Amino acid sequence: MTAVPTRSPLPTGLRWSAATSAFQIEGARDVDGRGRSIWDEFLEAPGAITDASTADLACDSYRHPEADVALVAGLGLDRYRFSIPWARVQPDGRGTANTVALDHYSRFVDRLLEVDVVPFPTLYHWEMPSAVEADGGWLSRDTVERFADYAAIVVDSLGDRVAHWYTLNEPAMTTLQGYAVGALAPGRQLLFDALPTVHHQLLAHARAAQVIRSRASAQVGLVNNHTWVLPLNDTAEDRDAAALYDLIHNRVFSEPLLAGEYPDLAAWGLPAMPVQDGDLDAIRASIDFYGINFYNPTTVTAADASSPIPFDIVPTPGVPVTGFGPEWPIMPVALRDLLVDLHARHPLLPPVIIGENGASFPEPDRAARVEDADRIAYLAGHIAAVGEAIAAGVPVEEYTVWSLLDNWEWADGYTQRFGLVHVDFATGERTPKASYDWYRDLIAGARSAAAAREETR
């Protein structure tokens, strides 16, 4: 086990947050008129979920939102990132709102405000209503307006109290894992034919941003998953493989938002995006803050000529790994490097929010106090990396831990625990881990240091 650092260099002036997503914590899949989503379909496919679990109970957060708010308040967070599921609000993915569901999230927002925590909802954390997917999902341009209609409904209900919105969570994972290789819902295996889903998601985000700003005084962002791509060998083939992976994982999602254009896809033999007049202007003007979820670097090597994909993702040599094994190498400096690199490419970068960062480790299933020194080391290392990026001039304004709670980790079911709080999925019992206490103390320390600085001004 990694030694716990006694002191981590604390970036000054950061806001502190933790995140969850609805399907991963709520349970109550058949409650209050919720419609089916692509995850309800996906988890029923034989072999789709590692432990064949269903997220029926998860953390029982829909029935007991007060339990989550108490943990949020106990940490002393500035902000809390959670998601609102489209299929609860519009069970058929269009038309009249389900007011019972809206009232639930309205009460949840009130509870957060009562404990002085700023709500940061995400409108889409991967749960597309099955009815929208049946009409083409993110492959169809029509989904853009359907998403904007859904955004309007939610903003009309919460916009008097919510001033910060994430539209989409990690469109890259939806495109790559959901539509290209099928490891996540909706489980399509279209390889490079999945690329139109990039543009339709970015456009849906941009339309939702317009709708939100026209109905409320609010800041809007999107959160991209970023990775730092390393060639396995210093050869032209591996450098090309790494550049292509960087393009489809990072740049194709970041550059339209930050520079108003797609990278040169034709240079890689890739099809053009289905862009129409005005799309890129709308996308370029769409963010007040830029969310980055970071977990790990990705090491890439050139694939055999016979492979349908020209790169292979391989273990990153010489670094420790999380509970996922070699798939999830731990390399905090990669977060600093990617932030500094992004800022160099886009000097007018808007305020950056680290929207998720965290790690799973093997931990007991039954209720227990977990001394998770490995998670503390992971978080401390990445917070220090953020501090180094800020010192190098990158405008980072917030750091968010994934996750507040152990939860249902998508295709990995209950086998990967990411929480600051242990959850016994058989009983629902929540037990703060050592990392919860550590994060609480770190936030309190940062706040006192900031107050002391104010006094000496």
* Chain Cα centroid distance, residue 236: 33
Distance CA 298, CA 289 (A): 25
Q: Which of 293, 316, 322, 435 binds ligand BGC (CB under 6 A)?
A: 293
Span interacting with ligand BGC, options 129-137, 166-174, 331-339, 361-369, rule CB under 6 A: 166-174
What x/- string results for residues 352 through 381 when contact with ligand BGC is judged by CB under 6 A?
----x-------------------------
Distance CA 125, CA 160 (A): 22
* Comparison of 316 and 403: residue with beta carbon closer to ligand BGC: 403
Print the SS3 string covering 189-258: CCHHHHCHHHHHHHHHHHHHHHHHHHHCCCEEEEEEEECCEEECCCCHHHHHHHHHHHHHHHHHHHHHHH
169 makes contact with ligand BGC (CB under 6 A)? yes
* Chain Cα centroid distance, residue 310: 27
Q: Provide, rounded to whole angstroms, the least separation between the CB of residue 49 and ligand BGC.
A: 13
Q: In the block, which residue shows the tokens 């209050």? A: 32
Q: Cα(first)–Cα(last) distance of the chain, in Å?
A: 42
250 makes contact with ligand BGC (CB under 6 A)? no
Q: Which residues of 74-107 are buried (b: 16+ CB within 10 A; e: fewer)?
A: ebbbbbbbbbbbbbbbbbebeeebbeebbebbbe
Q: Which of 143, 157, 225, 322 binds ligand BGC (CB under 6 A)?
A: 225
- Give the catalytic positions in this structure: 170, 356
Label the pairing between strands 421-423 and 430-432: antiparallel
Q: Provide, rounded to whole angstroms, the least separation between the CB of residue 173 and ligand BGC.
A: 5
167 makes contact with ligand BGC (CB under 6 A)? no
Q: Provide, rounded to whole angstroms, the least separation between the CB of residue 160 and ligand BGC.
A: 28
* Comparison of 157 and 360: residue with beta carbon closer to ligand BGC: 360
21 makes contact with ligand BGC (CB under 6 A)? yes
Distance CA 196, CA 215 (A): 29
* Comparison of 173 and 314: residue with beta carbon closer to ligand BGC: 173
175 makes contact with ligand BGC (CB under 6 A)? no
398 makes contact with ligand BGC (CB under 6 A)? no
Q: Are 226 and 254 in contact (CB under 8 A)?
A: yes
322 makes contact with ligand BGC (CB under 6 A)? no
Q: Which of 31, 115, 173, 434 binds ligand BGC (CB under 6 A)?
A: 173
Binding residues for ligand BGC, rule: CB under 6 A, are 21, 24, 169-170, 173, 225, 293, 356, 402, 409, 418
